[in-house]
Chain A
Amino acid sequence: MNMLEIHNLHASIEGKEILRGLDLSIAPGQVHAVMGPNGAGKSTLGAILTGRPGYEVTEGSVTFMGRDLLAMSPEERAWAGLFLSFQYPVEIPGVSFTNFIKAALNATRKARGQEELKAGDFLKLMKEKMSLLKMKGEFAKREVNAGFSGGEKKRAEVFQMAMLDPSLAILDETDSGLDVDALKIVSAGVNSLRTPEKSFIIITHYQKLLEYIVPDVVHVLKDGRIVKTGGSELADKIWKEGFENID
């Protein structure tokens, strides 16, 4: 069974159709890159999959691990194992990362019928994932994304992903705002989470990130549908020739 099946997806925002018949299948363990020019619908795809308010699905279906994803609330999708690394992570001043991620993790465990993590085990897990992403100890006490640079926010997104351990993670332009060093750290973090069961969708403009996180499949999204699918060599071709010549 595929982890994710998207069939003939049409979606619009404020009455404007963005996705126009998108098909995509992702098997467990695969990394798919979705590339495309501005306005192609890349971020809309991430928004639809995670249930962001304001987007309307007008046609098509999305099945995630055998379940009708579109019928689920955003938190139910998270509990089922879906994660989105936001292109623009949200600042929540006054709430510490520790409390935030603890609330997320424990709610997820509860929904899955697991016990809450003991305080000691939780802190151990925090430390482990922080060191994976080379984050300083003070990070745990900081308020969620408040006053973070663009790069720090992206790194914090991948940290949250590592904590929540999703089955399918969507990385929406995680490379934007990262310098080369941070890109390497974030990529190494993502690569360390790759297993034969977990899948990833990497949404990006550039092929740079795909040199570090090598995808199994590359898709080109244009005008709301996938116009070309290939192996990782497709990313290089796009880099050399641009999106214009792909159809």
Chain B
Amino acid sequence: MAERVYIAGIDEIPAKISVGKDELLSMTVIVFPGFSGSIPLEVLLKGSGSEVQLRGLYISSGEDKLSFDIKVRHEAPMSRSSQLFNGIAAGCASVSFHGLILVPRDCQKIKAFQENRNILLSESATVETSPTLEIYADDVECSHGATTGSLDPTELFYMRSRGIPETEARTLQMLSFLAPVLSGISDPVLRRRIARRVEKAVRGL
């Protein structure tokens, strides 16, 4: 399996990747505060049985302007794709997420999932999310969803009732929200290294 982790602004993120027959591509894009720019990514599932697991974690603050433009093209039968993008927007950051899943008519037995979850930490931060499906085949299992909200008050109260101060409770909530993306990184050393940087970034918000 090919596992790739890219940090925006540091690593060069390829704009187009093809996945061949029975190959699995596992890819994570991390965006830390201070990055502004557009991240276009097109994944072509070329071979039958090919699979892509795409993950994104972004933390934008200050005046950051971030946009994702993700296209997943299923070009072979029995190909699978999953996308999970979780992000936090603080300060005056503006984030946009455009995600497109394309399944042409002759492409059957496809599984495609896409989820984009956002947390707004301030009233001046904005998130615009548009997950889109273009599906012309019949035998397709597909779902997509997008949410934008604030930190859950019940979770916050639960932690505070245990004596965890509000600021620390908020930090734990944000780490909890981002955790599903990190847990997708299968290399434990790499995962821990990224997790430490993510925690530092969250604490700096």
List chain A positions with a Cβ less than 8 A from chain B: 50-53, 73-75, 77-79, 83-84, 86, 89-90, 92-95, 99-101, 103-105, 107-108, 111, 160, 164
Known: A93-B180, A104-B162, A160-B162. Is A74-B175 also a contact (CB below 8 A)?
no
Inter-chain CA distance A99–B169, complex, in Å, is 12
Inter-chain CA distance A163–B177, complex, in Å, is 26
Inter-chain CA distance A111–B164, complex, in Å, is 10
B186 within 8 A of A: no
Shortest A33–chain B CB gap in Å is 21
| Partner of A108 from B158, B163, B176 at Cβ < 8 Å | B163
B165 within 8 A of A: yes
Scoring B residues 163 to 188 as 1 if CB is less than 8 Å from chain A, else 0, what string do you get? Answer: 11110100011011111101100000
B159 within 8 A of A: yes
Q: Are A90 and B162 in contact (CB under 8 A)?
A: no
Tell me which residues across on chain B come within 8 A of A99, comparing CB atoms: 172
List chain B positions with a Cβ less than 8 A from chain A: 153-155, 157-166, 168, 172-173, 175-180, 182-183
Known: A92-B155, A92-B159. Is A75-B172 also a contact (CB below 8 A)?
no
Tell me which residues across on chain B come within 8 A of A93, comparing CB atoms: 176, 179-180
Tell me which residues across on chain A come within 8 A of B160, comparing CB atoms: 51, 73-75, 78
Q: Are B180 and A94 in contact (CB under 8 A)?
A: yes
Q: Are A86 and B153 in contact (CB under 8 A)?
A: no
Inter-chain CA distance A52–B158, complex, in Å, is 9
Most chain B beta carbons < 10 A, residue from A74, A77, A90, A99: A74
Q: Are A95 and B165 in contact (CB under 8 A)?
A: no
Inter-chain CA distance A57–B63, complex, in Å, is 41
Shortest B191–chain A CB gap in Å is 12
Q: Are B183 and A74 in contact (CB under 8 A)?
A: no
18 contacts between A and B (CB under 8 A): A50-B161, A51-B157, A53-B153, A73-B160, A78-B160, A78-B162, A78-B163, A83-B162, A84-B161, A86-B161, A92-B158, A93-B180, A94-B175, A94-B180, A107-B165, A108-B163, A164-B162, A164-B163
Q: Are A100 and B172 in contact (CB under 8 A)?
A: yes
Q: Are A107 and B164 in contact (CB under 8 A)?
A: yes
Nearest-neighbor residue (CB-CB) of B163 within chain A: A78
Tell me which residues across on chain B come within 8 A of A79, comparing CB atoms: 163
5 other contacts beyond A100-B164, A100-B172, A103-B164, with CB at 8 A cut-off? A52-B157, A74-B161, A75-B160, A104-B163, A107-B163
Nearest-neighbor residue (CB-CB) of A109 within chain B: B163
Tell me which residues across on chain A come within 8 A of B165, comparing CB atoms: 75, 107
Q: Are B158 and A89 in contact (CB under 8 A)?
A: yes
Tell me which residues across on chain B come within 8 A of A108, comparing CB atoms: 163
